[in-house]
Structure 1
């Protein structure tokens, strides 16, 4: 009997340890940092497929979007931040907080690389913040125009990568030098773009497309306008939510700021150590 009680006690202690560990991890992930893998090439060459980073949730304060989401496609698990903390999400009708209230909120700055929840699907996106509330944003001939002033750009040569399946989803890059074969060099034109507040970052250009020339987007109060650095391969605020894009993002949907790449793998799995990009470990995000 004593032996049986000892076994049950051991099982109970193990269960408590697991529960405590999960609670601690959940609190850490909710309040401080959220891990994030880069799944697509929309932010090249700032962020590459397979880059791993922690999102700083303290940067802009907390909202419902600070709660974690759990997605395990193989098991059919899809629990979003709204499922956990939707009770804290605003209905958008408060004139004092059109973007939703935030606890200890701090305004993001133009040029920040930000993770946010898609306003419709709840999926996590990572893009660069281009437009602030009240800004007028437009693309003219592939060049960004903010409040009627073209943004300064300088030629930075050619960005090269090998044309091959990339990451767990085995995505193939788009190239400006035409249809190239597997193993060939895939090129894109690279520029340095300097935003009005002095933040400089690289952008890539593949080819002329419809979103190189747009109408004027006027950013509503309490919302932000985001774009990918890989301008011709990014679904962002230039495209409406109804069309599968991001549209204007409410302040409360912002999760946090991406500051530094912690680890990077070019392969289908982080376990493939021969595909690790050691030059990107602990790399600051600009």
Structure 2
């Protein structure tokens, strides 16, 4: 099952909204407000002249100050569309900066990362650990760090850049990854596995085999289904650098190309990942998943991601 997080490009929508409201706000500050002030000054001067003439003619005018203030306020009042744009602009700009450079929220819609992430988890993704990138274009402009084996990472799906996916980093550039009989070997070193209690799949009311996969510096839980083969050869697609991989019924081996990453879901037999659609280029990276901040169906889910 694919791990699609969001359809469409909300960042682009937010950027357009910020630009439109920002342009209106600037137009008002530097042009429209001055024009309203000039009209108000002219109207007040005319008002004062008329009042002075009435006084010279011996005619007493009532409520001079109140009428003058009301006239000035009515002319200086912002049009509704300008007022709303000025109110929304700082809020939209703040949200845009926060989600573009610091943290971005996502919702988990499917089960390919169970048991680490469950359907309905609302997560925060760190946007700066892997480098500062231009919003919308997603082009890295400042190098900060690189994904490490074991990181849970959000990225643009290589087959459709409008979709955000989440998987675990298994291989970094230059790594040789072998997956045989549902066990990983990284650069010739077999990864250790510790059996855990079977995991109850609430969605399908079934138990799955659960293991602690001791990837160096990043131990984490995974699930296996006895009835499913390690790889479904019929689901393997043609992808860039496909020649870096070799496949058989119970095994595959890939050498991760420079500038790419090999990703797998923790729910190994229920995840479409790099085994099937290939490597994730560096330019597709969105950020590192770091925290579950809410799951309305299970409040105990709140906490860090490992």
Q: How many residues align?
A: 217
Q: What is residue 142 of structure 2 aligned with on the other side?
A: 103
| Residues 114 and 257, structure 1, Cα contact 8 Å, conserved in 2 | yes
Separation (CA, whole Å) in 2 of partners of 1:198 and 1:103: 26
- Report the Cα offset of residue 13 of structure 1: 2.1
Structure 1 unaligned spans of 5+: 68-83, 89-100, 164-172, 174-184, 240-244, 266-275
Q: What is residue 20 of structure 1 aligned with on the other side?
A: 90
Q: What is residue 277 of structure 1 aligned with on the other side?
A: 298
Structure 2 unaligned spans of 5+: 1-69, 232-248
Out of 135, 138, 157, the position equivalent to 2:175 is 135
Separation (CA, whole Å) in 2 of partners of 1:20 and 1:215: 51
Q: What is residue 227 of structure 1 aligned with on the other side?
A: 264
SS at match of 2:211: strand
SS at match of 2:263: strand
Q: What is residue 222 of structure 2 aligned with on the other side?
A: 203
| Residues 230 and 250, structure 2, Cα contact 8 Å, conserved in 1 | yes
Of the structure 1 ranges 18-27 and 227-236, higher mean CA displacement relative to structure 2 is found in 18-27
Q: What is residue 213 of structure 2 aligned with on the other side?
A: 193
| Residues 136 and 216, structure 1, Cα contact 8 Å, conserved in 2 | yes
- Report the Cα offset of residue 24 of structure 1: 1.6
TM-score by length of 1: 0.70
Q: Is 2:294 aligned against 1:263?
A: yes
Out of 189, 199, 215, the position equivalent to 1:149 is 189
| Residues 63 and 252, structure 1, Cα contact 8 Å, conserved in 2 | no
- Report the Cα offset of residue 210 of structure 1: 4.8
- Report the Cα offset of residue 4 of structure 1: 6.0
Q: What is residue 177 of structure 1 aligned with on the other side?
A: none
- Report the Cα offset of residue 221 of structure 1: 0.8
- Report the Cα offset of residue 161 of structure 1: 3.2
Query: For each residue in 1:63-113, what CA deviation from the matched residue of structure 2 results, as whole angstroms up to 9, or x when unmatched?
Result: 35xx2xxxxxxxxxxxxxxxx327x4xxxxxxxxxxxx5513311211011
Task: Give the number of the structure whose alpha-carbon radius of gyration is greater.
Answer: 2
Q: Is 2:232 aligned against 1:214?
A: no
Query: For each residue in 1:140-187, what CA deviation from the matched residue of structure 2 results, as whole angstroms up to 9, or x when unmatched?
Result: 111112122221001001111334xxxxxxxxx4xxxxxxxxxxx321
Superposition map of 1:32-111 within 5 A:
32-64=102-134, 67=135, 84-85=136-137, 88=139, 102-111=141-150
Q: Is 2:278 aligned against 1:252?
A: no
Query: For each residue in 1:184-242, what CA deviation from the matched residue of structure 2 results, as whole angstroms up to 9, or x when unmatched?
Result: x32111000001x2321000011332518232110001111110000001111111xxx
Q: What is residue 75 of structure 1 aligned with on the other side?
A: none
Separation (CA, whole Å) in 2 of partners of 1:102 and 1:204: 38
Separation (CA, whole Å) in 1 of partners of 2:114 and 2:107: 14
Write 1 or 2 for the structure with the bigger share of helix: 2
| Residues 138 and 217, structure 1, Cα contact 8 Å, conserved in 2 | yes
Query: For each residue in 1:100-150, what CA deviation from the matched residue of structure 2 results, as whole angstroms up to 9, or x when unmatched?
Result: x55133112110111111123111111111101111112111111212222
